[in-house]
Structures are given as structure tokens and as C-alpha cells.
Amino acid sequence: MKLDTRAIRYLTAEDWRVLTAVEMGSKNHEVVPTPLISQISGLRGASGVNRSISNLAKVGLIARVKNAKYDGYRLTYGGLDYLALNTFIKRKSIYSIGNQVGVGKESDIYVVADESGKQRILKIHRLGRISFRTVKANRDYLRNRNAASWMYMSRLAAMKEFAFMKVLKDNGFPVPTPIDQARHCVLMELIDSYPLRQVTSIADPPKLYADLMSLIMRFASQGLIHGDFNEFNILVHEETQEPVVIDFPQMVSIDHPNAEEYFDRDVQCIKTFFARKFGFESEEEGPDWKDVKRTGKLDVEVEASGFSKKQAKELDKYLQQIAKLNERDGDEAGGDVSDENDDDQEEEDRGSGMENEDDEQPDNSNLSEDSCEMKNEAET
């Protein structure tokens, strides 16, 4: 979905209170009843509340839910975007919003600027988008999640990404400097570079290859596996040709039950890409999982930084479901941005409540068929 910020400066203080009330009400109600919105907002007089509700609904920040037993509203992704942006604006992290520069499968990337005009990257997590975009059979697969629970998952992804970036940056890894995080959004340094996949000429492929492999080993020695280490998530400075790694919601500890598989997949992604794109194959084998020697505990440290084990588990479960879905559908799950209105689809997808936590654990034994190889195929 597009980020449409035209209305953001026109919302009144009451509108913001009502929008926040809908968000708060959503924690316990799939459809927030109008009287509850009014009550949470703390505004006196129903007419003011109703006026705000109608303003917010008009610009699509909340949506009326008609077929419920009672009259009510739910927050849309647009509403969540506004709440997050407002937080950033109030904290002076963001002053203006520029162009969309990237689209991941489950994120939108914008260039934004602070008051001094310094550009930054805003990553808006949009988990659940894959399931909206694939065929009906696949939507059934994840249908026990509703819009509010996708928003919650997106928030977890943003929290996790921010926490990992911070720990990595603090420990000297080449990642963008994390600046701020609110709800489902992460604000970070803009890296003036292109994803490896788009870079047309690399002066010294063997050197870059060696740098990337040693980076994988450095992650691992600190207890971490990137988990999606491929030509889309490695940015390369055009002049210096230094790599910068991005995209962290799927990072795992080397103590994860599937760690070896993820590690091998990261290594293999780079090997496959360098062989195809540069005709480069290293004479050295590996790096090998057996060579990993733990010297640090960033995987443990990150837990202390506000992203708990419980939250990690919840997100992991979701990411495994998505991996499973990718496996079944191949590229169909790919994330092109169309102007399709996701909110209509969310409405349709509104299934049972958020509390559906004990759905069966999907089998993830086939994770090696995941993203990077599919992306590689897509390129040929």
C-alpha cells in the first residue's frame, strides 16, 4: 500500500486522540465499538468524537466494519503509518517524507529527511502482504491472522530489526546506523549505494567475495546468522566497494535448531551469485559450519535490548509460516507493488481473533528452497 501523507498536517488534536483510541481499543477488540473509542479518547461530547471518526474514516486511517454485531471501527495500515510518523515527527526524527525507494516483499522503503535536511531511510514493515497477494489457497494457509495481528507482527519485526542493528553497529559491523523505531517502522542511516544485485561492475570480485565470507564468519563468531544474506541485502558503495549489510528481521542465534542450515544457505547464496554474475568460484572450500568458533554473545546481548525471547519466538513462528508458503508457491509470493488496495483485502481476510496462538507449528525442514535461490532463478 502507498504511504499517503497528504492529510497528516491537517489532523486536529482531537483526531489524533481518536486515532490513538482506536489503536488502543484494537488491543482487545477486533472491531472497536464506537462508545469505547469515545471513552478511551477521553473527549467530552459525542459530536466531537463523531466528527473525528468521520474525518479519520474519510482519509482511510480507520475503517468502518459493517458486518459486525455492533457498529465499530478498526485501525488500517494507513492509520498505523500515521501514528508512527507522528511519533517520529514529535521526536524530531523526521521532518519531511520523500520518495519511495525500495519495495521488499514485506516492507516499503522511503527516503525521509530531518529538520536540517539530512536524508534517512524509513523502513515500514508490512507483514502479511505476501499472504494477501498470493492465490486463495495460500491465503487460507494464514487466514487465522487478522489485520491487527499482522500489525502486531510488523511491529515485532521492526523492534527486532532495530535491536539487532543497534547491537551490530555498536560492535563494529558494517550496517546502517539505526536512528529510531516506532510501531512497525525503523528509521536508519541512508547508505549511498546500490544493492549488490544492481551493481554493474565490481572491480575486484574475489576481494568482495572474501569480505562477504569473512563477514558471515564474523557474525557467526558473535553468535549470529543473518539468515537472508544475499545480493538484495548487501549494499555496495560504488566508490569504495565496501559492503553494508541490511535487513535483519530473520536473524537467528547460532544456537537455533536450524542454525547450520541457515548458515549454509547464507554461504551458498553468495557462492551461487558470484559464480553466475562474475563467473567467480573460489578455490577455497567453505566457509564451513564446523569452522565456526564462538567468541562473543551478541545473540544473548540483543535480548537485553528490548526484544524479548517471547517476542522472538512469536515472530519466528510467523517467519517460518511464510517460508513454508514461499516454498509452496515459488515466485508467486514475490512482492511487486501494485496499486491494489490492501485494506479491502485485509477486510476480507479478517478471520478469527489475534489470540490464535496454538496453530500447528509448520514443518520447516525444507527451508533451503527459500528466497535467495528463487530470486536467483527469477533473474535468469
Known catalytic residues are 228
Name 209's Cβ contacts closer than 8 Å, sequence gap at least 6.
Answer: 270, 274, 280, 282
Decide if residue 321 touches Mg ion (CB under 5 A): no
DSSP track, 252-281: EETTSTTHHHHHHHHHHHHHHHHHHHH---
Instruction: Report in angstroms how near the CB of residue 117 gets to ligand ADP at its nearest.
Output: 17
Q: Do residues 234 and 266 lie in contact, with contact meaning Cβ atoms separated by under 8 Å?
A: no
Give the C-alpha separation, 53 to 62, whole Å.
8
Complex with Mg ion: residue 228 or 349, whichever CB lies closer: 228
Using CA atoms, how far apart are residues 43 and 41, in angstroms rounded to an integer? 5
Task: In angstroms, give the least distance from the CB of 285 to ligand ADP.
Answer: 29
CB nearer ligand ADP, residue 259 or residue 372: 372
Helix axes 13-25, 34-41, angle to 10 degrees: 120
Burial state string for 152-190 with b = 16 or more CB within 10 A and e = fewer than 16: bbbbbbbbbbbbbbbbbbeeebbbbebbbbbbbbbbbbb
Residue closer to ligand ADP, measured from CB, 109 or 319: 109
Query: Residue 245 CB, nearest distance to ligand ADP (Å)?
Result: 10
| Between 70 and 194, CB nearer to Mg ion | 194
Q: What are phi and psi of 37, to 5 degrees?
A: -55, -45
Q: In the complex, what is the shortest distance from the CB of residue 130 to Mg ion, in angstroms, rounded to a whole number?
A: 13
Asked if residues 155 and 183 have their Cβ atoms less than 8 Å apart, the reply is yes
The residues pairing with 32 across neighbouring beta strands, listed in sequence order, are 73
Minimum separation from the CB atom of position 243 to ligand ADP (A): 13
Stated as kind and residue range, the H or E segment containing 121 is strand 119-125
Residue 94's φ and ψ, nearest 5 degrees, are: -130, 140
Q: Single out the residue of 15, 23, 108, 247 in contact with Mg ion (rule: CB under 5 A).
A: 247
**Contact stretch for Mg ion (CB under 5 A) within 70-78, 110-118, 169-177, 240-248:** 240-248
Per partner kind, with CB cut-offs from 5 to 8 A, the member of ligand ADP, Mg ion, none near residue 77 is none
Options 86-94, 128-136, 172-180, 247-255: segment touching Mg ion (CB under 5 A): 247-255
Region 86-105 residues binding Mg ion, contact defined as CB under 5 A: 104
Any residues with CB less than 8 A from the CB of 109 and at least 6 apart, and which? Answer: 100, 101, 102, 103, 121, 122, 123, 124
Q: Which is nearer to ligand ADP, 33 or 195 (CB)?
A: 195
> 368: how many CB neighbours lie within 10 A of its CB?
14
Nearer to ligand ADP, 15 or 316 (CB): 316
Q: How far apart are CA 55 and CA 276, in angstroms?
A: 53
Q: Which of 76, 138, 233, 371 binds Mg ion (CB under 5 A)?
A: 233
From the list Mg ion, ligand ADP, none, pick the one residue 188 interacts with, judged by a Cβ distance below 5 to 8 Å according to partner type: ligand ADP
Residue whose Cβ sits closest to ligand ADP: 104
Q: In this chain, which stretch among 80-88, 201-209, 242-250, 308-316 interacts with Mg ion, using CB under 5 A?
A: 242-250
CA distance 194 to 9: 33
Closest separation between CB of residue 75 and ligand ADP, Å?
22
Q: Which does 48 bind (CB under 5 to 8 A by kind): Mg ion, ligand ADP, none?
A: none
Q: What are the residues binding ligand ADP (CB under 6 A)?
A: 101-102, 104-107, 109, 121, 123, 176, 188-191, 195, 232-233, 235, 246-247
Say which entry of ligand ADP, Mg ion, none residue 176 contacts (CB below 5 to 8 A, set by partner kind): ligand ADP
Nearer of residues 51 and 197 to ligand ADP, judged by Cβ:
197
**Which chain residues interact with Mg ion by CB under 5 A?**
104, 232-233, 247
